[in-house]
């Protein structure tokens, strides 16, 4: 015995060093106890001020599941203050366990794949100014996260570090991958009807520079359907659709009235939100970014938003968007936790207590026949035979039939050098999707290398091999 000294026990949470460590989160110390801003709510649930609780990500999201229960004991002392006996009033218990939807072997394979592609782009000089590369894979029917991989590139030191958390916190300009949402908005607002034909042509507004599709004047003006607009990635089709949402029909050199610009942007963004773009995905992680959706914008911003050159989204939002298309318009919340389990005799994973079920967020407000047009368009992106087909890389070397959409968001880096966000979204197999993938590779100065579809294809191949 040492008079004046008391002894207590404590613990530390040890997290295995994997690329997913960042999403596990952290817990408060016994000294810090309950976070001040949440203390009142925790106290009402029976917590004590010095209780250690999850303060971020999975630890915070599943705090009440993971938290153990304190034992309550009654200590009897004699008249001299010495302990005579201890009665257990309430037995304590360990907290429950959570099992993730992510197979670590598959996650590691995707991580290695991203690193290989990024190092290749570093080698040819294309990734010098890139912040990294990110990819998310989901089960489109259940929302189960199959992998959430990120590689962060420090532009000052050149260091590459895992950044899975960046898939839900970092935002990027998406480019043309969002064009299915623009066409959907055209249907929802009565601007388009089915596989409607418009004229692909240079778009010239009074006093403005022309807006071209990527193939510019090589093919002149020609009729184009909604399916072909996706296959060829036509900007002109999207601009005319956005103009129609404003209640105006395109005429060369026309003056555009913008009195209802705010209403039109609201309609366009509302449809995007039905796919999870610019909206909370519902993922079981606190503090996800809902994207960067500026409140201030011009007519030019509205028009370019129709082909993915204004609002910014997270890789997770893009994955939910393509998963929604794969799932016939039903948007399901991504989830990282598969189920809640008890403890076995050694404190490891015990019996299943609760199997977590898919959470349906909404259904996109278009007809089944219109959704089928999007499916046809995404299939043609990967399998079309036209000289304008944009995503043959999805199919080259694919183990299963892939449907997808490419996206190239134009930007600039240091010194005014032109760069692209080379993005891609895809799902497979085309006729019965089991996996949906989004890939974001920002600020690649190798403008001729659309690496996004190749990465998406290889992730899908890895999934089928696992």
Alpha carbon distance 370, 128 (integer Å): 41
Alpha carbon distance 265, 302 (integer Å): 6
Burial state string for 361-393 with b = 16 or more CB within 10 A and e = fewer than 16: bbebebeeebbebbbbbbbbbbbbeeebbbbeb
Active-site residue (options: 176, 213, 395, 403)? 176
* Cβ–Cβ under 8 Å, residues 374 and 405: no
Task: Provide the β-strand partners of residue 88.
Answer: 73
Token pair of 316 as six digits: 């997770």
Q: Is 56 a catalytic residue?
A: no
Alpha carbon distance 413, 277 (integer Å): 25
* Cβ–Cβ under 8 Å, residues 460 and 399: yes
* Cβ–Cβ under 8 Å, residues 460 and 138: no
SS3 for 194-252, per residue?
Answer: CCCCEEECCECECCCCCECCCCCCCCCCEEECHHHHHHHCCHHHHHHHHHHHCCCCCCC
The contacts of residue 156 (CB under 8 Å, 6+ apart) are none
**Rg of the chain, C-alpha, whole Å:** 26
Catalytic residues: 176
């Amino acid at each position: 015995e040492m008079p004046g000294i008391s002894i207590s026990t404590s613990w530390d949470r040890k997290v295995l060093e994997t690329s997913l460590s960042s999403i596990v989160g952290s817990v408060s110390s016994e000294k810090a106890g309950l976070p001040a801003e949440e203390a009142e709510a925790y106290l009402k649930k029976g917590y004590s001020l010095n209780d250690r609780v999850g303060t971020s990500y999975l630890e915070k999201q599943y705090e009440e599941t993971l938290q153990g229960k304190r034992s309550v004991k009654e200590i009897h002392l004699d008249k001299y203050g010495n302990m005579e006996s201890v009665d257990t009033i309430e037995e304590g218990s360990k907290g429950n366990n959570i099992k993730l939807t992510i197979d670590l072997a598959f996650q590691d394979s995707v991580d290695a794949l991203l690193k290989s592609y990024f190092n290749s782009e570093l080698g040819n000089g294309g990734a010098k100014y890139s912040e990294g590369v990110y990819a998310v894979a989901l089960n489109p029917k259940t929302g189960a996260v199959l992998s959430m991989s990120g590689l962060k590139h420090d532009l000052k030191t050149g260091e590459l570090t895992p950044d899975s958390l960046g898939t839900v916190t970092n935002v990027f300009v998406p480019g043309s991958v969002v064009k299915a949402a623009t066409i959907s908005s055209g249907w929802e607002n009565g601007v388009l009807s089915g596989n409607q034909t418009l004229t692909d042509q240079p778009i010239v507004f009074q006093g403005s520079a022309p807006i071209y599709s990527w193939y510019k004047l090589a093919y002149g003006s020609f009729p184009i359907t909604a399916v072909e607009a996706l296959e060829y990635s036509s900007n002109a089709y999207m601009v005319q659709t956005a103009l129609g949402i404003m209640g105006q029909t395109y005429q060369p050199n026309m003056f555009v009235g913008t009195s209802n610009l705010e209403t039109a942007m609201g309609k366009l963004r509302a449809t995007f939100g039905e796919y999870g773009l610019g909206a909370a995905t519902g993922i079981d992680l606190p503090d996800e970014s809902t994207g960067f959706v500026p409140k201030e914008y011009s007519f030019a911003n509205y028009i370019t938003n129709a082909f993915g050159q204004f609002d910014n989204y997270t890789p997770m939002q893009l994955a939910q968007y393509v998963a929604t298309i794969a799932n016939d318009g039903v948007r399901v919340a991504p989830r990282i936790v598969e189920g809640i389990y008890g403890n076995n005799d050694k404190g490891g994973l015990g019996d299943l207590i609760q199997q977590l079920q898919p959470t349906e967020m909404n259904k996109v407000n278009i007809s089944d026949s219109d959704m089928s047009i999007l499916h046809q368009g995404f299939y043609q992106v990967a399998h079309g035979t036209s000289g304008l087909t944009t995503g043959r890389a999805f199919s080259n070397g694919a183990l299963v039939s892939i449907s997808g959409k490419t996206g190239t968001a134009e930007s600039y880096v240091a010194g005014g050098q032109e760069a692209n966000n080379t993005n891609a979204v895809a799902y497979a197999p085309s006729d019965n999707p089991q996996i949906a993938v989004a890939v974001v590779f920002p600020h690649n100065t190798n403008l001729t290398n659309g690496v996004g579809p190749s990465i998406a294809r290889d992730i899908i191949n890895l999934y089928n091999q696992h």
